[in-house]
Structure 1
Amino acid sequence: MNLPASFIDYTRSLLGDEEYDKLAAALQQEPPVSIRLNFNKLRMESGELRVAMQDNAVHSQLSILNSQLLPVPWSSEGFYLDERLTFTFDPLFHAGCYYVQEASSMFVEQVLRQYVTEPVVMLDLCAAPGGKSTHARSVLPEGSLLVANEVIRNRSQILAENLTKWGQPDVVVTNNDPADFSSLPSFFDVILTDVPCSGEGMFRKDPVAVEEWSPENVAICWQRQRRIIADIWPSLKPGGILIYSTCTYNTKEDEENVRWIQQEFGAEPLVLEVRKDWNITGNLLRDESDSSGHSALETPVYHFFPHKTKGEGFFLAALRKPETEEDNTLVFSFAKGKTSKKKDKKGGATPSLVTKEHLNIAKNWLNEEESASYLLSAEGTTIQIFPQRYADELAAMKQSLRIVSAGVGVGEVKGKDLIPGHALAMSSALLRREAFATEEVTYEQAIAYLRKEAITLSATAPRGYVLLTYRNIPLGFVKNIGNRANNLYPQEWRIRSGYLPDEIKTL
């Protein structure tokens, strides 16, 4: 790897010769591979990974390359792998049993666990492809709502796909510029801003980041980052928490921007409890005081360097918005449980094709106990379920934001039939598996299904909608018509590769 000379000079002056040489050596090594397990679908028992069955007394053991999973120290769900799996060809990956995520970035969990103890409304502003969003959704207190946003339209679809596969229902996915959230003042309790950056911390994983790096690009990045924070700050409630993170090393995008947030908005930096053996690096700025007399070294920030921690470069700081700041909390004027209706070209409400019979069928597909606090609603041809306690918040967001998905899509009406939604199959909490005939498939059948190919079921499989499972984990639905089964897997999510690797390594 040929690093830019200006990067070498700046980083060497920042770290010192000895530390820089260690960093440069680490950047020549292969990056570690890490995943986060979805404990709603999997569980660890006595150091072994097992599939979480609906009957808790029954388990199906999984092995992973005959090796052990090494925990990521700062994450309750993160694990290092001895070697990279063939993730594309692992059905459990597509079923949302785990997410491939860089280990250092899992440190976000520490802010949520240490400072968020009650249900909150959280925004992940720059969320695609969904690593931090799926992570946050797993560790937030029960009853919380996560809004995951991505400004680029096609990436917002990928974000929605990954969150759907993760299977937790209290999620809204939006496709908006940070400035669009100005219509929602004091709306969020927590905002995660994993801002676009110069990507220095990803050099050994992404050669393009090395090619595109320049001092000029760093300058563009830190200015863009400040603009993003300024745009989103009014949407944070007084007393709310801003998590600022980057995957870069330089202080211009890191410490200097944190100092700017303190000075510009009066934000209070938050101290995180960390273990010494995590080898996290603190503030790299020289001992300079800001206008309030506070030393830069007093500001708690957290750097991850690959020569010290097993992961890539990462930076994080957590800050609290002053309680004394004027509270412009949005006052809801929406009737609880009502949803907006789409208009036709003449301005009238689009008639819904969903009947009471369809709604009754959909209710039968849901776990009655888990869905009791959720609102089932119909719009156009679709039936969705969303947490009732956040119906007003969703209505407010629909008025000012582009909503990609909200809650769980239970089903869609086509003709006279209600077709079960793939999101329902992925929702481990809401799906009532007894409502469907199930068919356990082989690895080969699972891959064929994920390629959106026609599937032939066993002769004993009943006609109608069948839930396919692999190692007892739901993969999705088919409609069995006897001689074959119509594949209902989402077309845009299919495995596009038509070959299988010579060696397949799966969870």
Structure 2
Amino acid sequence: MSEIKLPEAFVKRMINYLGEEEFFAFEKSLEKEPRVSIRINPFKGIIHEADRTAVPWNNEGYFLAERPSFTLDPLFHAGCYYVQESSSMFIAHILKYIQAPKDGIFLDLAAAPGGKSTLLSSFIGKDGFLVANEVIKTRANILKENIIKWGLGNTMVTQNDPEHFRELEGFFDLVLVDAPCSGEGLFRKDQEARNEWSEDNVNLCALRQQRIMDQAGALVKGGGYLIYSTCTFNEKENEDMIRFICSEYAYEPVRIPIDPTWKITETATETEDGTFYGYRFYPHHVEGEGFFVSVFKRPEDSYIQEPKKIKDFKHSHIKAANKQESQRLISDLGLDERSTFYSLQDSFFWTNAKYQTHFEFLSRFLNIRYFGVELGKFNKEQFIPNHEFAVSILPKKGFTAHELNLDQALTFLRKEDMVVDDIPEGWVLVTYQNIPMGWIKNLGNRINNNYPKEWRIRMR
């Protein structure tokens, strides 16, 4: 990696934080190639063995010895793992320590591209419900794709400004805000982050963060948790935000235990409500990029909003499936009786019946981009399955599965014409290493490749 030229004002501030000797070590660390890390999807099985070492603060995280071609790994496209920066995986350690309720309602307020949302999704598993929100349309599309590939069906993807959550005060058991920031922690791997950095941009980011947290702070229910994080080092976007949050809302500090061998830097911020703690990841100390996170607990006696049950669900686009449609989906596809189904443009979606009330209540306020698992549609007596259904962890009763080798799997991912022998006519679920990849349809004289056109890979 070429030598990194850092902004002069940034250098002065970091020397002030670290001292000249430690700053030199910090600066040298930015010239090293960052280690590649992945986090596996525990609901899709362990990925193939590779030369890897564990991320110490996350049981599902691993460092790889070198960066492979993820584009040419079918398991990556099947949602078996997520390529995530290791420092961000510390969120899992926080969730474990605070014993966040796995059957809770979680919100990731600034969620794209989806690293922390897929982590939250894995944590709550089949028990909880997650709202993954992104305000920017293009980024919301990326978030939706990653949630679909992760495949757990416990997530609603929304595209809303934080202000649109105003009616949901006290609704969530946990709110995570990975705030848009000046990106100082990305200087090692992102030339653009260095070029765009300025003190004015830091101030602008801090103002944007205040606007977000002014809304987010109210959304946590009594006894719930707020997690605030950035990928930057300066106090204005970190410790000063702790002070801002405490000046606006009643919160209690949460101190997270850390192993000294992890070399994470703990900071303490004094407020009128006590000492609040932050956790800083410096690249000269940890195997990871720059990161900051702090945890707050809402007092037990704070407001709690329970969702109001809706007698007759009405939505401008989404319709509740009728009893006959629901029974047919359960019977034909082998789905759990404790399922709720909705239709959107004739396509049926599965959700966990346990969170029907929550979903229908939230749909009154939020712009929904995706939810649960899109299954497919009925065409007379035939069910036409969607790709989203294929890569989900839901059962797929009544469909033949056919295992592909690597070359065939890559042909499928390129959405090219396929030749597959010894399969029945109709819809066939193709797998790679027994992991579902998607659908092909055998028409007798030819095979249709039903991989989504917008997701196809072009690399050879």
Q: TM range, normalised to the smaller chain?
A: over 0.9
Residues 239 and 360 from structure 1, CA distance in 2 versus in 1: closer, same or farther, beyond 3 angstroms?
A: closer
Which residue pairs with 2:162 in the alignment?
178
Residues 145 and 457 from structure 1, CA distance in 2 versus in 1: closer, same or farther, beyond 3 angstroms?
A: same
Equivalent runs, 1:58-457 vs 2, <5 Å? 62-64=48-50, 67=51, 69-115=52-98, 116-140=100-124, 142-283=126-267, 289-291=270-272, 294=274, 298-325=275-302, 327=303, 329-335=305-311, 339-342=313-316, 356=324, 362-368=329-335, 371-414=336-379, 417-428=382-393, 430-432=394-396, 434-457=397-420
Residues 480 and 355 from structure 1, CA distance in 2 versus in 1: closer, same or farther, beyond 3 angstroms?
A: farther
Cα deviation, residue 350, structure 1: 8.5
Q: Name which of 447, 456, 460 aligns with 1:494.
A: 456
Take 2:64 and 2:320, find their aligned partners in 1: how far apart are those partners?
Answer: 51
Q: Is the 8 A contact 2:97 2:256 kept in 1?
A: yes
**Paired AA for residue 193 in structure 1:** V
Residues 167 and 197 from structure 1, CA distance in 2 versus in 1: closer, same or farther, beyond 3 angstroms?
A: same
Take 1:477 and 1:365, find their aligned partners in 2: how far apart are those partners?
Answer: 17
Cα deviation, residue 167, structure 1: 1.2
Residues 367 and 121 from structure 1, CA distance in 2 versus in 1: closer, same or farther, beyond 3 angstroms?
A: same
Take 2:90 and 2:127, find their aligned partners in 1: how far apart are those partners?
Answer: 22
Cα deviation, residue 427, structure 1: 1.7
**Paired AA for residue 311 in structure 1:** G
Please list the CA deviations of residues 244-298 of structure 1 after superposition, one character each: whole Å capped at 9, or x if unmatched.
000001111011111221232121120112111010001177xxx5456x5xxx4
Take 1:142 and 1:206, find their aligned partners in 2: how far apart are those partners?
Answer: 36
Take 2:244 and 2:68, find their aligned partners in 1: how far apart are those partners?
Answer: 42
**Paired AA for residue 329 in structure 2:** A
Cα deviation, residue 340, structure 1: 2.9
Take 1:230 and 1:383, find their aligned partners in 2: how far apart are those partners?
Answer: 37
**Paired AA for residue 77 in structure 1:** E
With 135-144 and 76-85 compared, the bigger mean Cα shift is at: 135-144
Take 2:155 and 2:333, find their aligned partners in 1: how far apart are those partners?
Answer: 18
Q: Name which of 22, 26, 38 aligns with 2:25.
A: 22
Cα deviation, residue 29, structure 1: 0.6
Take 1:462 and 1:22, find their aligned partners in 2: how far apart are those partners?
Answer: 62
Q: Is the 8 A contact 2:156 2:368 kept in 1?
A: yes
Please list the CA deviations of residues 26-81 of structure 1 after superposition, one character each: whole Å capped at 9, or x if unmatched.
001101100011121123xxxxx5xxxxxxxxxxxx343xx2x2000000100000
Q: Is the 8 A contact 1:184 1:330 kept in 2?
A: no
Take 2:88 and 2:53, find their aligned partners in 1: how far apart are those partners?
Answer: 17
Q: Is the 8 A contact 1:426 1:474 kept in 2?
A: yes
Q: Name which of 456, 465, 476 aligns with 2:438.
A: 476
Give the secondary-structure state (helix, strand or coil) at the position aligned to 2:217: helix
Residues 373 and 487 from structure 1, CA distance in 2 versus in 1: closer, same or farther, beyond 3 angstroms?
A: same
RMSD over aligned Cα atoms: 2.2
Take 2:90 and 2:114, find their aligned partners in 1: how far apart are those partners?
Answer: 15
Take 1:351 and 1:267, find their aligned partners in 2: how far apart are those partners?
Answer: 39
Take 2:27 and 2:191, find their aligned partners in 1: how far apart are those partners?
Answer: 15
Which residue pairs with 1:52 in the alignment?
none
Give the secondary-structure state (helix, strand or coil) at the position aligned to 2:96: helix
Cα deviation, residue 412, structure 1: 2.2
Q: Is the 8 A contact 2:107 2:133 kept in 1?
A: yes
Please list the CA deviations of residues 293-327 of structure 1 after superposition, one character each: whole Å capped at 9, or x if unmatched.
x5xxx4221000110000000000000122333x2
Please list the CA deviations of residues 57-106 of structure 1 after superposition, one character each: whole Å capped at 9, or x if unmatched.
xxxxx343xx2x20000001000000001011110000011110000000
Take 2:236 and 2:429, find their aligned partners in 1: how far apart are those partners?
Answer: 52
Q: Is the 8 A contact 1:411 1:421 kept in 2?
A: yes
Q: Is the 8 A contact 2:319 2:342 kept in 1?
A: no
Calculate the TM-score normalised by the size of structure 1: 0.85
Residues 470 and 331 from structure 1, CA distance in 2 versus in 1: closer, same or farther, beyond 3 angstroms?
A: closer
Is residue 5 of structure 2 the alignment partner of residue 2 of structure 1? yes
**Paired AA for residue 489 in structure 1:** Y
Residues 350 and 176 from structure 1, CA distance in 2 versus in 1: closer, same or farther, beyond 3 angstroms?
A: closer
Cα deviation, residue 141, structure 1: 6.2
Q: Is the 8 A contact 1:351 1:380 kept in 2?
A: no
Take 1:483 and 1:141, find their aligned partners in 2: how far apart are those partners?
Answer: 42
Q: Is the 8 A contact 1:425 1:431 kept in 2?
A: no
**Paired AA for residue 186 in structure 2:** M
| Structure 2, gaps ≥5 residues long | none
**Paired AA for residue 16 in structure 1:** G
Take 2:120 and 2:390, find their aligned partners in 1: how far apart are those partners?
Answer: 21
Give the secondary-structure state (helix, strand or coil) at the position aligned to 2:305: coil
Take 1:144 and 1:408, find their aligned partners in 2: how far apart are those partners?
Answer: 15
Cα deviation, residue 418, structure 1: 2.4
Give the secondary-structure state (helix, strand or coil) at the position aligned to 1:9: helix
**Paired AA for residue 99 in structure 1:** Y
Cα deviation, residue 480, structure 1: 0.8
Q: Is the 8 A contact 2:133 2:160 kept in 1?
A: yes
With 105-114 and 258-267 compared, the bigger mean Cα shift is at: 258-267
Give the secondary-structure state (helix, strand or coil) at the position aligned to 2:395: coil
